A and B are shown apart, each in its own frame.
Chain A
Amino acid sequence: MKIIRKCALAMALCATTALSANAGEITIATVNNGHMIEMQKLTPEFEKANPDIKVNWVTLDEGTLRSRVTTDITTKGGQFDVMTIGMYEAPIWGKNNWLVPLEFDASYDVDDILPSIRAGLSYDSKLFAAPFYGESSMIMYRKDLVDAAGLTITDNPTWDHMEKVAAALHKPDDGVFGICLRGKPGWGDNMAFITTLANSFGAQWFNEDWTPALDSPEWNAAVNFYVNLLTKYGPPGSEGNSFNEILALINEGKCGIWIDATIAASFVTDPKQSKVADKMAFAQSPQKATTKGANWLWAWSLAIPAGTKQAGDAKKFIEWATSKSYIELVAKTNGWASVPTGTRVSTYSNPKFQEAATFDEAELKAILSANPEDSTLNPSPYVGVQFAAIPEFQAIGTAVGQQMTAALSGSISVEDALAASQKAADREMRKGGYY
């Protein structure tokens, strides 16, 4: 019944949007991250420059956004003229002709986009989504606490060393937890982090013949390590924490170490929102058997669904929001340390940015070291660091994410969680006709 209601709702929404979609009005679906909220605040600037275009925003959390835009684009709902998607969707949807290929004029300078990000958003060398901000993952830690403990964190430390540091920083009675990591179920939530951890232990999602490899000893070692680390030295309630929840904890000074998206660096070093802005330092992701795939690669990007009637206006907006001049506009409004990063070479070579940001080198290094084509110790058949770019992955990643959260909460053992995960992945791959 639920799905019918959803369909009926979609129809109702289509009807209303069809009625209200005046010329010069575009609807944008986006995710509720800091940089997007900023983009909405700056939209009047765009509307001033283009008085005939009015912009409507639909802001959702990551999981809901994914469901909504995927449902909309596959049922040709036409609710949105611009969609915020990532590196997982762009090539798959581009291949299916669900997106309008993006061609910009010379002033946009498409060659300025970081090569790995551009490649990840293209299919058949056509760009299908323009990156709004790009990210990898890295270690962010409280230098004051680590120094006080007489320890150091270098680039690509071993996981065992990280455990030692987390143990030294863990003082729950003073309200500081050793390490905060994602635990909320979802392929873009806890699985993004756990996959990079597993990669560094030498694990991978699928074997060469597309059979799931979740029953391997490497996965077992990685997940056991994760559960143990977070149970001993993490905050309570990790099962509900994803990026935004942990960001709030860090900004309150409640976490010693955080390994997550590089984009967080500009938030945790921003004195306006972080109590520990001047105490944060950065390092490249930890490793165990390999540094391959130890840090993810992702870009939240803007794309135009093929069904829209407002493609021209939508392109104008995308061009504005992902241009060099937008980055300068944010710099003028909030300072160079708060600009959306990880997209353009010119941002990193800008002396003003280099001076304002304490994290620019670590961030660029992380982004440049991630390679979606080659992110596992042993050869694998799929593209993607923290995901596999196949349509089945969303269902698999979500199911496995649920199991990992259950293992973290201690309600089932790691072995049972991985066995159930393997079973779920195997079911989906069989249904998809891979073997």
Chain B
Amino acid sequence: MNPTLAKWLQAPSVILLLLWMIVPLSMTIYFSTIRYHLLYQDRTGFIGLSNYEFFYTDPSFWPAILNTLILVGSVLLISVVLGLAISLLINHDFFGRGIVRVLLISPFFIMPTVNALVWKNMLMNPIYGLFAFISTSFGLDPIDWLSDFPLFSIIIIVSWQWTPFAILIFMTSLQSQDREQKEAATLDGAGFWAQFFNLTIPHLARPIAIVIMIQMIFHLSIFAEIFVTTSGGPGVQSTNLAFLIFTQALQGFDVGVASAGGVFAIILANIVAIFLIRIVGKSLTV
């Protein structure tokens, strides 16, 4: 097998993947520079950057960017920290470990819309939700989660769904940790924290990097949870970039402006990705 032939044999799949990316991207860029409003089929033509200007001058633009970053950052922090803590807790033999592990991972396999509905109606509802019931049994006023703390509520909902993903990854990689090394460290008098920082964290560097990467990709475009629970409100308190594009496209029916929003989203994702790769990339080049 000579190398040139191998390259040629790879070509079809590479070209297909390129098309898979380039066609939608170029369509989005094309739509974002023309007048394209679904309700006004007769208005067409190239309008340069005015769709971008319209999207950028929308009063909800900066709040949406900020919300997107807060959402990604908080969920990443919560799920990585909690995921680490829980996977360390269940990293030794105890009775019923299998069942506990299955239960811990199960939220990840629930559909996002179902997850959001359960939280909205069964837990956070201020009249007949579980949290309201708990508050009233202690004689406190129930908290109206989705109206008073919309973004925080969504962070909770998404974290509950994604922490299990982190647990799953960390749990499996902890099993490959060198036991003899840990025993030697214990004999040398290293306590829990010393072992954690000098052995566990370096061992988990790569899994942590991977969890952060994958979760970031998913959380930048969180939509279902927002759509089901708060519809981006009250006001724009829980509107992220994905939801803002949705309101432009499917509630305003302006494909041009929504495509411009899509391009903004691509730019934002790339900026975040560059920063994250800088931060966690070091651990990937071991």
Contact = CB atoms under 8 A, between A and B. Distances in A.
Interface of A: 1-8, 63, 67, 70-71, 74-75, 92, 96, 184-186, 235-240, 249, 254, 391, 394-395, 398-399, 402-403, 405-409, 411-412, 417, 420, 423-424, 427-428, 431
Interface stretch (B81-89, B98-106, B139-147, B194-202): B139-147
B249 interface: yes
Given A7-B27, A239-B234, 15 more contacts: A1-B221, A2-B245, A2-B246, A3-B258, A4-B259, A67-B250, A237-B144, A237-B147, A240-B147, A391-B253, A398-B247, A417-B235, A427-B58, A428-B252, A431-B54
14 contacts: A1-B24, A1-B265, A2-B246, A2-B258, A3-B262, A6-B249, A6-B250, A70-B38, A237-B147, A240-B120, A254-B127, A391-B40, A394-B252, A407-B235
Given A402-B235, A405-B233, A1 B251 contact: no
A185 B249 CA distance: 17
Contact of A4 (B28, B58, B230, B252): B28
Contacts of A74: 38-39, 41, 253
Given A3-B258, A237-B146, A398 B235 contact: no
Interface in B107-156: 120, 125-127, 142, 144, 146-148
B242 interface: yes
A2 B144 CA distance: 31
B11 interface: no
A423 to B, nearest CB: 7
B225 interface: no
B231 A71 contact: no
Contact of B125 (A67, A184, A237, A428): A237
Contact of A409 (B31, B234, B249, B251): B234
B235 A395 contact: no
B231 A185 contact: yes
Contacts of B147: 236-240, 409
B66 interface: no
B59 interface: yes
A193 to B, nearest CB: 16
A184 B231 contact: yes
Interface in B15-52: 24-25, 27-28, 31, 38-41
A70 B39 CA distance: 8
A239 B146 contact: yes
B27 A398 contact: no
A98 to B, nearest CB: 9
> 9 closest Cβ contacts across the A-B interface?
A406-B235, A395-B252, A74-B38, A409-B234, A236-B126, A391-B39, A67-B250, A4-B24, A239-B147
A30 to B, nearest CB: 18
Contact of B28 (A3, A236, A403, A420): A3
A235 B127 contact: yes
B251 A406 contact: no
Contacts of B230: 240
A393 B186 CA distance: 70
A70 B235 CA distance: 24
A143 B59 CA distance: 45
B163 interface: no
A394 B251 contact: yes
B232 interface: yes
B38 A71 contact: yes
A407 B265 CA distance: 28
B66 to A, nearest CB: 15
A67 B125 CA distance: 27
A236 B144 contact: yes
A239 B231 CA distance: 10
Contacts of A96: 41
